[in-house]
Amino acid sequence: MGVPPPDDPKHKIVMGYPSMDRYHLQATPAPYPPPTVYGSSSIHHHQLYPSTSSQPPPPPFQHDGQYPNAAPPLGGNQYNQPYNEYYYQQHYKPLVPLNNNNDSDSSSFGRVMLILMIVLVASMCMMSLVMWFLFGTYIPEFEVASLKVSNFTATDTTLTGTWEVELSVTNTNKELAVNFDRVMSSIFYKEALLGISTLQPFQVDQMNRSTVNFSMPAEQKPNDMKLQSWVLPTLSQDQSNGVVVFSLRLAMKTNFTTANLVYRQENLRVLCENVQVVFTVGGKGTMSPGLGNICLIRLHDGDE
């Protein structure tokens, strides 16, 4: 192997990076083509790459002042007449055609139904009013006309006596009579039962007043420790003072009837509270006038 000559550039000792000239081909760039003249103006085209085909240059551009692709003036239409008529002159047609006749029929039907409902409700109200005026029921009025006690004796251990009651009943109904059935009467002193009795059925006619008389004997229970412990001593003390306050109560079944029809049935409770009886010598007592005469009426649900 021989030593290269010192003039050989490939084997020169240089400082820095090696030269890359040997890896590149030496090419001479093509010169720019001459400017092309179009009309009165010259336009320079810079061709970066040389042309690979030999084609004749394009003909010169002749400008005649017309713009074939120019936009139409504002407000104009670039489409022909049929296209314009279809999109701009046709009226809007909805997808679902409106049927005004069906809407009017539905509205008319709704108004008719509303009017019929109003007429029906008004007729029912008028019928109820007529029935009330013709067969309206009023609860009868009760009043203790008289209350007497005879042979009354009250000690700490015994009780005797008889209560005689005169009861006034008024029927204020113009078309209905009142029948009273299963009538039970009782007499109380401070919520302690002293006597009980059963009355016969009776009737009070339309716009009429009837008087019912009945009596109740004293009923003492021998084994009633409450009655003997504090009721009888208190009752004996009140009798010695001359005034005893009793309570009369009645329970009955009431029928409001016409000629052959039972119009209404009610279970009544009649409460005649705070009836004062003045006692004299000999065990006789008479109700004080003007006190405890009017009775209260209470309707009771259910059977007796």
Q: What is the reported pTM?
A: 0.56
* Segment 85-95, tens digit of pLDDT: 555 555 555 55
| Higher local confidence (pLDDT), 54 or 130 | 130
For residue 129, the 8-state DSSP code is: H
* Segment 213-272, tens digit of pLDDT: 999 999 876 666 777 778 888 999 999 999 999 999 999 999 998 877 888 889 999 999
Which of helix, strand or coil describes residue 233?
Answer: helix
Contact 265, 254 (CB under 8 A): yes
Structural domain boundaries of the chain?
141-300
CA–CA separation, 151 and 148 (whole Å): 10
CA–CA separation, 282 and 198 (whole Å): 28
